[in-house]
Amino acid sequence: MYDVTIPLQGTAESPSAQASATYIQDLFVQTRARSEALAAPLSPEDMMIQSMEDASPTKWHLGHTSWFFEEFILRPYCTDYRSLNDQYRLLFNSYYVQAGFRHIRSKRGLLSRPDSAAILGYRRHVTFHVLKLLHSNSSNRADILKLVELGCHHEMQHQELMLTDILHGLSYSPLLPSYHEKKLPKASTKKSSPIHFTEFSGGLTETGHDASDFHFDCEAPRHKEYLPPFALGVRPVTNAEWIAFIEDGGYEKETLWLSDGWAYKQKEGWTAPLYWWKDGASWNSFTLTGVRPVDPNAPVSHISYYEADAYARWAGARLPTEAEHETAFRNHPIDGNFADSELYIPSRGPAIWGDVWEWTQSPYTPYPGYQPVEGTIGEYNGKFMVNQFVLRGGSCLTPRAQMRPTYRNFFHPHQRWQMTGLRLAKDL
């Protein structure tokens, strides 16, 4: 759809800068195309679903990620740029107060217009003009490249949200339709071995990002932390182990639960992970590939922080801190079951990265010395640093290009519609 072979103009840049510009241009083209590919299996009706306030319609995601490039790059840096529709600033702004008025989040599913075709046209318009700007000799080239890279990683986050939001929306249909029909490998019947723990000596360590390569501002600055000796499970908790927790009355023993967690469990009627139900003696789950038997050996997913914490207490363990997770795994190659595999379900893959996001006991707060950047773009992360917990490791719905050992995902402790699981930790 978009030509990535056009040479970038200008000869004043160093070879490394030129290579960086080419990389960002290619990343932009690939990221934009992938979002549209993820939406391709959906009907216009599918793309309007908003099943709860936490979720957004697919077509809103497609519009918002275009608005991001338009608002932060095209409007300030492209003097001859004209939007297809200035009202899109109202419709597709998410939470940026300094960017002006916003449509009510809970009402996004009522936006029948613009229709999906118009939003795809808007995407093509924005993509064309961003590429045109990248091919220009703008005096603000360095700033533009940084913002385009940020916009690509922002869009990758929304690609993951597109998948989790459409899964939640389709789960309300009594027909339980599949998002896609790709044939998946048969689940293994071989029982997983009991969890073993790897011990770490702890001590003074440094965590956080300090290099010049891309990272979100909340991942920095690098700072020192002291860790007592600890141990981490060599793999995440599996579905079979979670079923044992259910069968032992884990959802009925109030002493296992945090007070707020027990209140949520009672209010919402939790008795198993989200999308699970029992058919006779067997557990089934609704997935992006339709109804599937729960794979006993795959990592458990779609559990809240409260459930993860209760399970850890039941298992005689605890949740790790994010510093423990980063310290233990930062030197391991980032390879695993990510969205690029197009499985879209947890598998029995490598034990460290991918498959499911892992809850940590660490609240999502700023690192020592953190300061959000000036201006509207500074609202990206800093304003959310309260009442949420950090998750680490990526999932089967996370684009591989987004993952780093320092990457901090974060959600409220009651939320379950994301691909969230857990890994156990222990004190030594």
3-state secondary structure string across the chain: CCCCCCCCCCCCCCHHHHHHHHHHHHHHHHHHHHHHHHHCCCCCCHHHCCCCCCCCCHHHHHHHHHHHHHHHHHHHHCCCCCCCCCCHHHHHCCCCHHHCCCCCHHHHHHCCCCCHHHHHHHHHHHHHHHHHHHCCCCCCHHHHHHHHHHHHHHHHHHHHHHHHHHHHHHCCCCCCCCCCCCCCCCCCCCCCCCCCEEEECCEEEEECCCCCCCCCHHHCCCEEEEECCEEEECCCCEHHHHHHHHHCCCCCCHHHCCHHHHHHHHHHCCCCCCCEEEECCEEEEEECCEEEECCCCCECCCCCHHHHHHHHHHCCCECCCHHHHHHHHCCCCCCEECHHHCCCCCCCCCCCEECCEEEEEEECCCCCCCCCCCCHHHHCCHHHCCCCEEEECCCCCCCHHHCCCCCCEEECCCCCCCCEECCCEEEC
Give the model confidence (pLDDT) of 219-243 as tens digits: 999 999 999 999 999 999 999 999 9
Q: What is the pLDDT of residues 64-92, one digit of tens each?
A: 999 999 999 999 999 899 999 999 999 99
Rounded to whole angstroms, what are the CA distances from 99 to 68, 92, 127, 241, 281?
A: 10, 11, 21, 47, 53
Whether the predicted pLDDT of 7 surpasses 90: no
**pLDDT value at position 22?**
93
Asked if pLDDT for residue 8 goes beyond 60, the answer is no
pLDDT tens per residue, range 264-274: 999 999 999 99
Mean pLDDT of the chain: 92
- How does pLDDT run across 371-391, given as a tens digit for each residue? 988 888 988 888 999 999 999
Reading the block at residue 334, the tokens are 């980032």
Q: What is the pTM of this model?
A: 0.94
Are 270 and 414 spatial neighbours (Cβ–Cβ below 8 Å)? no
Overall average pLDDT of the 268-285 stretch: 96
If you average pLDDT over residues 18-37, what whole number do you get? Answer: 92
| Residue 187, pLDDT score | 62
Does the pLDDT value for residue 19 go beyond 80?
no
- Residue corresponding to tokens 């695993």: 336
pLDDT score, position 186: 66
Residue found by looking up tokens 């519009």 in the block: 63
As a whole number of angstroms, the distance between CA 67 and CA 102 comes to 12
pLDDT in tens, 193-223: 888 999 999 999 999 998 888 999 999 999 9
Of 348, 342, 360, residue with least CA distance to 397: 342
β-strand 290-293 against 282-287: which pairing, if any? antiparallel
